[in-house]
Amino acid sequence: MVFMLGAVGFVIVLIVVLAIRERLLLKQRIARDWQRVPAVTNFDKEDSLKEAWQIYHKLNPSQSTVDDITWHDLDMIRVFELVNGTKSSVGAERLYQKMREFDLDGKEGSEFQELVTFFAEHDQERAEMQYQLARAGKRDKNFVWHYLHNPRENQLGNPLIYYVLGSLPVVSLLLFALTKIGPLVLVAIVGIMINVVFYMQKKEVLQRELLSMNYLVCLIAQSSNIAKVSQPLQDKIKTLAKELKIIARLGFAFRVKANSEAEVFFEYLNIAFMLPFISYNLVLKKLDTHQQEAIELLEMIGNIDAAIAVLNFKQIMPYVCQPETTETTQVVAEEMYHPLLQAPVVNPVNWHKSTLVTGSNASGKSTYIKGVALNAILSQTIGLACAKSWKMKAGHVLSSMALEDDLFQGDSYFVAEIKSVKRIIQQVKKGETCYCFVDEILRGTNTIERIAASSAIVEWLTKSQSLGFIATHDIELTEILNDVCENIHFEEQVTEEEGVEFDYVLYQGPARTRNALKLLKVMAFPKEIVVEAESKARHFEDSRSW
């Protein structure tokens, strides 16, 4: 008996020591990671984040979202990863939601920016909050929003069987302690054996549900510790955490954090007494009556985590600014840059009317319009822009740039282009402000039809209250649309010594250089080819015919 008590005591001490060590290491990791580019982890996969967002979107429809084509065109998942210094899955999911939904009326932005500003001015509270959030941890495919969306639908059937099986060993042992009837011990052992078999079978089927409930309960339980950290939402979180305390208590079987040293020990208790299945239904019943409170609590915790991540992003970038809103449809910025580039060249933005961007491949025109587009998204989602200043009227952002087969399965490239551009036109036709970005418009067809269709589309766009930014190689478009569009361009220099050199600086007017033919000469093409090509080019410029 003494030996058993000693063994139990040793296990308890070991669990406590390991838990203390884990918390110390966690605090060290948080201090080390601050003001650094977030490390790539095994969590926050986009399919998990997107699934959570889509469920949340059903609960809270937004005015406008960044659609899949635009998100893909601008490589926004890489931008998200650069921002995503969150410590909890609910924080990562909230950040992803924010970066996919435009805050056109600015209602959500002010509260979010208040959090960012607070943690910028209170570093001790920021570190403590990150520690408490990290204790909640991360779990992809946690289905938290799925349970909150409709808790009643997810309850297990026939709950009585779990109560009977779980109580059988307990009742048998209690009766044995009172009556000393030996066979009762055997009944308890048999009951535990039945529970082991039943538990393993059910756990295999309900693995997702049990793991998801584990994360949800731990998150709600951790909210009490999060509520102790001073920040603008503290009182609200305290109130909600208190109201939901019953869920943390009823979810006793899920209170052990996954992958912790104590998990194995408590797993044996769960098997013997069917605790997770009993606890699972009890929690869902309470969630059904406290659904709105749970949603509000997790939104607030997610916002806090996302705000700290945005603060970290602001501090690792060369500089960012707070966007300003204007009444006229425009985008005006100073020293704008693309956040994904290691050594970006800054350029201004002075976008008051639809604009054509010309220049050779790799000169910077595609990177420039992508930089404008993603900063237009960042300014209307997380409230910052990678520029010294940024002004724009609120509006939808849509692009048609990097079309791939998986976005329009079964379509030819040209049909995919047509569909992509059509969705932009349909949004513009609604009469709302749109910022439309197209790289090499209708490149999938012949020159005559491309120029005819492109000029008609762009001219139609100029008659709306939206703006177009179109990168093109077709110099003819700059001439056809000269009266209705602005023209800007990027240049390159071709020398025999250095080959092609780009400065990535924005210039006014359409591109005038003809460096492709110079490059043929630099690359030692046969002289007769170069001479003939130059002759044909001069003839076309003079006569506008071949």
- Contacts with 272 (C-beta within 8 Å, 6 or more apart), sequence order: 169, 192, 195, 196
By the 8 A CB rule, do 505 and 490 touch? yes
By the 8 A CB rule, do 357 and 365 touch? yes
Provide mean pLDDT across the span 18-43: 89
Q: Determine the distance from the C-alpha atom of residue 46 to the mean position of all C-alpha atoms in its chain, rounded to a whole number.
A: 7
pLDDT tens-digit profile of 160-189?
A: 777 677 777 777 767 667 777 777 777 777
Provide mean pLDDT across the span 67-78: 96
Provide mean pLDDT across the span 309-328: 97
pLDDT tens-digit profile of 139-150?
A: 999 989 888 887
Task: Please tell me the predicted confidence (pLDDT) of residue 147.
Answer: 84
Does 254 or 29 have the greater pLDDT score? Answer: 29
For residue 322, give the nearest of 113, 179, 19 by alpha carbon: 113
DSSP at 392:
E
Task: Please tell me the predicted confidence (pLDDT) of residue 119.
Answer: 98
Task: Please tell me the predicted confidence (pLDDT) of residue 110.
Answer: 87
By the 8 A CB rule, do 396 and 102 touch? yes
Task: Please tell me the predicted confidence (pLDDT) of residue 151.
Answer: 80
pLDDT tens-digit profile of 281-303?
A: 888 888 889 999 999 999 999 99
Handedness of CA 44, 48, 49, 55 (dihedral sign): negative
Handedness of CA 82, 87, 90, 94 (dihedral sign): negative
By the 8 A CB rule, do 286 and 91 touch? no
pLDDT tens-digit profile of 329-366?
A: 999 999 999 999 999 999 999 999 999 999 888 889 99
User: H helices within 180-261, ranges in order?
Assistant: 183-205, 207-226, 234-243, 245-250
d(CA 93, CA 99): 10
pLDDT tens-digit profile of 50-64?
A: 999 999 988 888 889
Strands 434-439 and 467-471: parallel
Provide mean pLDDT across the span 386-396: 98
Element (H, E) at 306: helix 291-316
- Mean per-residue pLDDT of the chain: 87
pLDDT tens-digit profile of 81-134?
A: 999 999 999 999 999 999 999 988 877 778 999 999 999 999 999 999 999 999
For residue 321, give the nearest of 331, 308, 336, 306 by alpha carbon: 336
| String of DSSP letters for 35-99 | TSPPPP-S---HHHHHHHHHHHHHHS--S-B--HHHHHHTTHHHHHHHH---SSHHHHHHHHHHH
